[in-house]
């Protein structure tokens, strides 16, 4: 990846971590831990490369699944979910962004490990990952617009935007390859 995409990944991850820290409230330790893991994965991927991408991918997917499971658990408790529907969609966006980020890391590692001049069968290329990334980006854009329009949740809107910027930067090489 180029320095520009690495920079955008880092800015998105750092902004997401800042939003999570700024809005930290009791019982949201999982969000804080997940955002720190995401930031560490982006810093390592962009700068140091000490941890294999497959390990980061597994950790990010596990964090995404844990965030999604917490949503499900919150919905099944007596009293229902703790938040408005748009906040629940924000939680869903965060969980999906972690899972898609892990998918993109595996794909990027596969394309680096097995370079191909004719065609790419790695997890990074193709219609499925591109569609998944675009769906999460559209959800993030909708959330940001809705939160800003309603005049509430600027921090949540900034978090959705930062996740979308980070995902777009991670997906840029994949999308440009898939589109030709």
Q: Residues with Cβ < 8 Å from 69, sequence gap 6 or more?
A: none
- The residues spanned by each domain of the chain are 3-179
Q: Does residue 121 or residue 22 have the better pLDDT?
A: 22
Alpha-carbon torsion (64, 70, 76, 79), positive or negative: negative
The predicted pLDDT at position 6 comes to 83
Predicted local distance difference test score (pLDDT) of residue 1: 57
- φ/ψ bin of 27: left (φ > 0), alpha (ψ from -120 to 50), beta (otherwise): left
pLDDT at 153 over 50: yes
pLDDT tens sequence across 9-52: 888 888 888 888 887 666 578 888 998 999 999 999 888 889 99
3-class state of residue 25 by DSSP: coil
Higher-pLDDT residue of 30, 174: 30
Q: How confident is the model at residue 130 (pLDDT cuts 50, 70, 90)?
A: confident
- First-to-last C-alpha distance (Å) of the chain: 17
Higher per-residue pLDDT: 129 or 95: 95
Q: Which two tokens stand for residue 81?
A: 């979910």
CA 135 to chain centre: 12
Each residue of 89-109: pLDDT tens digit? 888 899 999 999 998 888 766
Query: Half-sphere exposure of residue 7, counting CA atoms within 13 Å on the CB side?
Result: 3
């Amino acid at each position: 990846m180029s320095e520009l995409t690495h920079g955008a990944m880092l800015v998105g991850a750092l902004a997401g971590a800042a939003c999570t820290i700024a809005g930290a409230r009791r019982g949201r330790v999982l969000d804080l831990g997940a955002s720190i893991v995401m930031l560490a994965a982006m810093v390592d991927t962009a700068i140091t490369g000490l941890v294999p991408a497959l390990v980061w991918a597994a950790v990010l997917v596990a964090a995404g699944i844990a965030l999604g499971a917490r949503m499900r658990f919150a919905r099944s408790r007596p009293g229902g979910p703790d938040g408005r529907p748009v906040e629940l969609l924000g939680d869903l966006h965060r969980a999906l962004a972690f899972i898609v980020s892990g998918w993109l890391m595996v794909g990027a590692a596969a394309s680096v490990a097995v370079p191909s001049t004719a065609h790419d069968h790695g997890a990074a290329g193709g219609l499925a990952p591109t569609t998944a990334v675009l769906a999460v980006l559209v959800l993030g854009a909708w959330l940001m617009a809705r939160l800003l329009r309603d005049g509430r949740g600027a921090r949540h809107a900034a978090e959705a935007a930062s996740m979308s910027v980070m995902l777009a930067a991670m997906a840029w090489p994949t999308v440009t390859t898939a589109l030709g």
